[in-house]
Amino acid sequence: MGIFLFVFFIFISVSGILLGWKKHSAGILLPATTTGISTNLAEWLPLPELEQKAFKVLHDSVGNALSIKLDRIDVRKEKGIVKFIFKNHLNSIQLDGATGEVLQIGLRLSDFIEQVHDGSILDDYFNTPSGIIKVSYTSIMGVALLLFSLTGFWLWYGPKRMKSSSRK
């Protein structure tokens, strides 16, 4: 079983290390969050207007054929910015909430790494309902890691226990 799971443990460990470093990767894995000019929401442009600006920037600056389907809109009031994160590709756009000015166009490689890490990339590829591959994968890998940890501990502790009991 260990030989079969070895490849998956390598994927999980390498992707886990990369995810741990994503905010410290100088923008390589995850674009840094920028800062806008105002944290006062009353001074901000309406969200639908910011959304349309983000779509225009995506098509004008990144690629006209890219989907505008959003995964999420991340409003960072304390930073004065709005992040538009797209569903079908790794691009993101950060706009100033007050002016609509483009603060950053970035590639979120960390989103891809996260999909590899948790197995959801296979759910997306095979278009499976309810994320069943992700749930199965994380359950199998979690139980396997727990069992390997427990048996590894026993292989270390068992001989020590036997050695100390034979001295009595």
| Domain range summary for the chain, segments of one domain joined by + | 2-144
**DSSP assigned state of 42:** G
Q: pTM of the prediction?
A: 0.85
* Cβ atoms of residues 83 and 92 within 8 Å: yes
- Token pair in block for residue 80: 């004065």
* Cβ atoms of residues 71 and 91 within 8 Å: no
Taking residue 74's Cβ as centre, other Cβ atoms within 10 Å add up to 14
CA 1/CA 8 separation, integer angstroms: 11
Question: By CB neighbour count within 10 A (0-12 exposed, 13-18 middle, 19+ buried), where does 48 fall?
Answer: exposed
CA 117/CA 138 separation, integer angstroms: 9
What's the confidence (pLDDT) of residue 89? 96
What's the confidence (pLDDT) of residue 168? 63
Of 6, 96, 107, nearest to 44 by C-alpha is 96
* Cβ atoms of residues 22 and 110 within 8 Å: yes
> What is the side-by-side order of every strand in the sheet holding 81-86?
70-76, 81-86, 91-96, 102-107
Per-residue pLDDT reduced to its tens digit, 84-130? 999 999 999 999 999 999 999 999 999 999 999 999 999 999 999 89
What's the confidence (pLDDT) of residue 120? 95
Each residue's pLDDT, cut to its tens digit, for the chain (168 residues) gives: 778 899 999 999 999 999 999 999 999 999 999 999 999 999 999 999 999 999 999 999 999 999 999 999 999 999 999 999 999 999 999 999 999 999 999 999 999 999 999 999 999 999 998 999 999 999 999 999 999 999 999 999 988 888 887 776
